[in-house]
Amino acid sequence: MNAYGINDGDWKLFLDHRGEGCVSIFMPTYRPMGDGRQDQIRLRNLLRDAGEKLGEHGLAQRSAEVLKPAHELTDEAEFWRQPRKGVAVFSAPGFFRAYHLPIDVGERVVVADRFFLRPLMPLYQTRGGFYLLALSLNAVRLFEGRRESLDEIDLAGVVPTSFKDAMGIDEYDTVVQVHSTSTSSLGRPGMVHGHGDNDQEKLKKDVLHYFQAVAKGLGPLLRDKRAPLILAAVQEHFPLYKTANKHPHLLEEGLTGNPDALAPHEIHERAWPVAERFLLRERDEALERFRELRASGRVSSEVEDLVRAAEEGRVDVLLLAEDSEMWGTFDDASAEVELHLDPGNGDEELLDRAAYSTLARGGTVFTLPAGRLPEGRPAAAVYRY
């Protein structure tokens, strides 16, 4: 059984899938490494809960069919050996996905007519990717990354492979020796030695020429123009590459030092926090938009109103307080929303429904600490009209 990495295609699968017996299971994994046997036992217990909930929904006879792939997962030793913070399982008639999660989640079992997505919202709001350019005089490496992964892009024949490759022996008459450092961490730049009074100034111009050739070659590869580009290089190369750069979102913050000896997983570990800060700016900007539009009638923090607006496709941005829940019912015919203090038979978590409807209609959903939501409410929305 393979674990899938959550991507934009998966979000579409979740949003498109409707029908009786959609089981969503979330569980944290506390051990950093190990054989996973305790986690397998915990999943079996959660599957027992899922079976009981399916029975409450009148689906006891289909319980074995719906949960069979998940039961088989508990015997997949390789799955449980993978390092992770949590696990998510989605199972329905004819549908099954299991995920390793790079975020913390609470233990949860939900059975409904669609999958429960609220615990995954932190992944959604940073679902965008980023690029990382590891650049030195000796090598050029380009990576495309997300929260959970970092993949190297083949640059063969696209950009110069090094400073010497870019300049050519015949074209470059300054005697330069480049000694790469052998280090597993950033912070120690390579050393460049030249000869002659004007060598340093000429070297600077030639390095800029090299970077311009790199930036030009990268243009077609950086397809997502909204994605940030993070530079990993020695400090003195940052202003030079900024001059050569053509990507609209080269970040001021980068990874400083010689990147040559860094393995991809080391680069990813350092790069993701930088990328995440950029990706979450949109969330903060949405919160500011809410404040600016407060008097215009294009915002609301009333749960009944924003649930209806989400169903109508009017929600552009939905802001949700972390861990908040509002239970009740939504009448599809009358668009009547009824809130209940405690979940009852036939109730659904309405903030999850609002998030679902917002995403399905092209809106954006962000989660924030409860204290940051306007007026201390569990949700807020910016409307398209």
**What's the pLDDT score for residue 136?**
95
Instruction: Give 6-33 pLDDT, tens digit per residue.
Output: 666 677 788 888 888 999 999 998 655 5
> Taking CA 281 as the corner, what is the angle to CA 235 and CA 230, rounded to the nearest 5 degrees?
25
Here the CATH number for the domain that contains residue 111 is: 3.30.960.10
Residue type, 344: G
Q: Which two tokens stand for residue 368?
A: 């924030």
Q: Does residue 1 belong to any structural domain of this protein?
A: no
Alpha-carbon distance of 57 to 44, in angstroms, equals 20
C-alpha 75, offset from chain centre: 29
Of 194-208, 281-295, 328-342, 344-358, which range is least confident? Answer: 194-208
Domain boundary among 279, 304, 322: 279
Q: Taking 70 as the threshold, does the pLDDT of residue 184 lie above it?
A: no
Residue 225 is classified by DSSP as T
Residue 34 has pLDDT above 80, yes or no: no
Q: Are residues 263 and 139 in the same domain?
A: yes
Here the CATH number for the domain that contains residue 178 is: 3.30.420
Q: Which amino acid is at 162?
A: S
The band of 173, judged by pLDDT with boundaries at 50, 70 and 90, is very low
The predicted-structure confidence for 214-253, as pLDDT tens digits, reads as follows 999 999 899 878 889 999 999 999 999 999 999 999 999 9
Question: Structurally, how many domains does the chain consist of?
Answer: 3
pTM to 2 decimal places: 0.70
How many whole angstroms separate alpha carbon 6 and alpha carbon 213?
35
Asked if residue 302 and residue 168 are part of one domain, the reply reads: no
Among 249, 279, 309, identify where a domain stops. 279
Structural domain boundaries, residue 190:
130-279
Q: Is 339 inside any structural domain?
A: yes
136 and 273 within one domain: yes
| Alpha-carbon span 63 to 73, nearest angstrom | 16
Domain match, 141 and 89 both: no
What is the C-alpha to C-alpha distance for residues 339 and 330, in angstroms, rounded to an integer? 9
Reported as a single tens digit per residue, the pLDDT across 313-341 is: 999 999 999 888 999 999 999 999 999 98
Query: pLDDT at residue 195 above 80?
Result: no
pLDDT at position 186 over 90: no
Residue 183 pLDDT exceeds 90:
no
Cα separation, 377 vs 305, in Å, equals: 13
Is the confidence at residue 102, as pLDDT, over 60? yes
Task: State the CATH number of the domain containing residue 292.
Answer: 3.30.1330.30
Last residue of a domain, one of 230, 262, 279: 279
- The verdict on 250 and 305 lying in the same domain is no
**Which helix (H) or strand (E) is 271 found in, with range?**
helix 264-279
Kindly state whether residue 122 falls inside one of the protein's structural domains: no
d(CA 33, CA 381): 40
